[in-house]
Amino acid sequence: VDSGPGVGAVREISAAALALRGGTKGACNEGFRNSAVPQDGRRSIPVPVSGPRDGAMSDTMTDVEEGDSDEDAPTPREGGEPRRGRRADRARRRRLLPEVPRLRNRYRDQIEIMGGIWKTEARTAKRFFLQVASELNLEARDWDPREVYMVTIDDLQQAAARKVERQRHEAAVRLQAGWHCRCWYWSTRRLLLERRGAAARIQRWWRQQALFRLPLWRAVKLRPRMEKAATQMQSSIRAWRARRNLR
């Protein structure tokens, strides 16, 4: 029976039976692959109607699991466009969540650019001389930063020496001024104390004069006048008595 409409169907049924019995594992695996990837491009795990032997089932599931282990591998979509991996889908779903203010900037991935080399400053002549000037405690008034490309180490050292000498001179001037001010303070304080003592002595002497000596001096000075007045009064009384007796 080599011809007829049912010959092809019989042959396919016999081939499937042999594959399920373990006769041809390749045919069984091929059938599982075809069933795992349908025509619409979506993956699905095959569920056989009649369970095959252990060897055939293990081989078939191994092939399917190996195909599904690559999560990020793109698979064809409907229309032939490549689909992103699971990571892209997660990012898309994350964008669909409600946006929290300043949350993305706080928890975003801090990617290190160029291995962090861009953070290191390049060793240029300008930075070198500026660093030397800062180590020598030189300020903008001690040297001209605009001439950074024309100075040398010796020039900076000389500028530092001049600065130290100027600071010493200023310190000596301040010390001398402080010493002179202190001397003037003590001399002025001594003079003020002496003047205050002299004023107290003068006031004490004047009180003694006003309370004791001035009254005595006034009494002594008025005594001759008082005696003259008494004499005049006595003479007047004697004259009056004599004129009365003569009558």
Paired residues of 76 in beta bridges: 82
Paired residues of 82 in beta bridges: 76
Q: Is 227 part of any domain?
A: no
Q: Is 5 part of any domain?
A: yes
Q: Is 54 part of any domain?
A: yes
Question: Do 159 and 143 form a contact (C-beta atoms < 8 A)?
Answer: yes
Q: Is 37 part of any domain?
A: yes
Query: In this predicted model, what pLDDT tens digit does every residue of 84-103 receive, in sequence order?
Result: 577 777 777 766 656 666 66
User: What distance in Å separates the CA atoms of residue 40 and residue 31, rounded to the nearest whole number?
Assistant: 17
Structure-token pair, residue 228 = 């003259």
Residue 82 sits at φ, ψ, to 5 deg, of -70, 145
Q: Is 56 part of any domain?
A: yes
Average confidence score pLDDT of the chain: 72
Mean pLDDT of 138-164: 89
Structure-token pair, residue 155 = 């020039």
Q: Is 166 part of any domain?
A: no
Question: Do 83 and 77 form a contact (C-beta atoms < 8 A)?
Answer: yes
Q: Is 26 part of any domain?
A: yes
Question: Which domain, by its residues, includes 26?
Answer: 1-70
Mean pLDDT of 173-179: 95
Tally of structural domains, the chain: 1
pLDDT for the residue 220: 86
Q: Is 229 part of any domain?
A: no
Mean pLDDT of 67-84: 46
